[in-house]
Structure 1
Amino acid sequence: MIYAYAKLTVKNPDALAAYREKAGDALARHGGRVETASAEPTALDGAPDLPDVAALLSFPDRESALGWINDPALSDVHALRRNIGSSDIILLG
């Protein structure tokens, strides 16, 4: 199992709503899922730039995560996420 941290700053709530409708199926296509998500992340230490939405994603392995982000059939889903505002995803491992 490998994890990814997704950090979204929302400028376009309509794009976020459209993305949420498709994101789960897109993740599942590569064995991924949302482990947990928060619309109110809290800093425990330091002074990080907190996003509007944070999520912990899981994938069976690194290849699955890379397959998800690079899947041409999911380019419209990734475009929706990128149109939300700011979107950063970090693979942890």
Structure 2
Amino acid sequence: MIYAYAKITVTNPKALAEYRDVAGAALAKHGGKVESAAREFTVLDGTPDVPNVAALLSFPNKEAAVAWSNDPELADVHALRRSAGGSDILLLG
């Protein structure tokens, strides 16, 4: 199992709502899922760039995560997420 940290600074709530409707199926295609998601945060240390939305994603392995990210059939889904605002995803491992 490998995890990814995703954060979005929302500028287009409508696009985010549309993304939520298709994100689960897109993740599941490569064995991924949302482990946890939040809209409220408590900074424990430092001065991070706090997003509006953050999620911890899991995948069976690094290859599955990369396949999800690079899947041409999911290009529209990834574009929809990006259109919701600033979007960063970091694979942990």
Say yes or no: TM over 0.5.
yes
| TM-score when normalising by structure 1 | 0.98
Letter in 1 for 2:46: G
Q: What RMSD, in angstroms, separates the aligned Cα atoms of the two structures?
A: 0.5
| TM-score when normalising by structure 2 | 0.98
Q: Tell me the SS of whatever aligns to 1:79.
A: helix
Q: Counterparts of 1:67 and 1:6 in 2: how far apart (Å)?
A: 16
Q: Which runs of 5+ in 1 are unaligned?
A: none
CA deviation after TM superposition for structure 1 residue 41, in Å? 2.2
Letter in 2 for 1:58: S
Match of 1:64 in 2: 64
Q: Which runs of 5+ in 2 are unaligned?
A: none
Task: Answer yes or no: is the 8 Å Cα contact 1:41–1:54 preserved in 2.
Answer: no
CA deviation after TM superposition for structure 1 residue 42, in Å? 2.0
Aligned residues: 93
Q: Counterparts of 1:41 and 1:24 in 2: how far apart (Å)?
A: 23
Runs (4 or more) in structure 1 with deviation over 6 Å come to: none
Match of 2:90 in 1: 90
CA deviation after TM superposition for structure 1 residue 68, in Å? 0.2
Task: Answer yes or no: is the 8 Å Cα contact 1:7–1:88 preserved in 2.
Answer: yes
Q: Counterparts of 1:7 and 1:82 in 2: how far apart (Å)?
A: 11
